Amino acid sequence: MSGILAAIPGAAAQGVIWGVMALGVYVTYRILDFADLTVDSSMATGAATSAMLIISGMNPLLTLVFAILAGMAAGLITGFLNTKLKIPAILAGILTQLGLYSINLRIMDGSPNVALLKQPVIISLGNIPGALITGAIFAAVVIAVLYWFFGTELGCAIRATGNNRKMVRAQGVNTDTTKIIALVISNGLVGLAGGLLAQYQGSANVNMSRGAIVIGLASVILGEVIFGARFSFAYQLGAVVCGSIIYQIVIAFVIQLGLSTNDMKLFSAITVAIALSVPTIKQNIAQRKPINVMDDVEPTDAPPVQEASADTAGKE
pTM for this entry: 0.87
pLDDT at 273: 85
What CATH code is carried by the domain that includes residue 262? 1.10.3470
Residue 146: is its pLDDT beyond 70? yes
pLDDT tens, residue by residue, 167-190? 989 888 899 999 999 999 999 999
pLDDT tens, residue by residue, 92-123? 999 999 999 999 999 999 999 999 988 999 99
Lowest mean pLDDT among 2-6, 70-74, 253-257, 288-292: 288-292
pLDDT at 300: 56
Counted domains in the chain: 1
pLDDT at 200: 96
Domain limits for position 78: 2-288
> 315 to each of 306, 309, 311, 312, how far by Cα in Å?
17, 10, 6, 5
Query: Do 42 and 67 form a contact (C-beta atoms < 8 A)?
Result: no
Whether residue 278 is contained in a domain is answered as yes
**Which amino acid does the sequence have at 253?**
F
**What mean pLDDT do residues 283-302 have?**
64
pLDDT at 126: 87
Whether residue 294 is contained in a domain is answered as no
Whether residue 106 is contained in a domain is answered as yes
Residues 6 or more apart whose Cβ sits within 8 Å of residue 220: 22, 25, 26, 29, 30, 240, 243
pLDDT at 310: 46
More confident residue, 173 or 6: 173
β-bridge mates for residue 113, sequence order: 205
Residue 139: is its pLDDT beyond 60? yes
Kindly indicate the confidence band of residue 287, based on its pLDDT and cuts at 50, 70 and 90: confident
Residue 205: is its pLDDT beyond 60? yes
Q: Can you say whether the dihedral through the CA atoms of 137, 29, 158, 237 is positive or negative?
A: negative
Residue 313: is its pLDDT beyond 50? no
Q: What is the rounded distance in angstroms from the CA atom of residue 186 to the CA atom of residue 284? A: 33
Whether residue 264 is contained in a domain is answered as yes
Residue 37: is its pLDDT beyond 90? yes
Whether residue 211 is contained in a domain is answered as yes
**What mean pLDDT do residues 146-158 have?**
95
CA dihedral 261, 262, 263, 265 (to 10 degrees): 100
> 43 to each of 20, 39, 79, 186, 211, how far by Cα in Å?
11, 6, 17, 11, 10
Average pLDDT, the chain: 88
Residue 296: is its pLDDT beyond 90? no
Whether residue 309 is contained in a domain is answered as no
Whether residue 316 is contained in a domain is answered as no
More confident residue, 274 or 132: 132
Whether residue 303 is contained in a domain is answered as no
Kindly indicate the confidence band of residue 227, based on its pLDDT and cuts at 50, 70 and 90: confident
Query: Do 44 and 203 form a contact (C-beta atoms < 8 A)?
Result: no
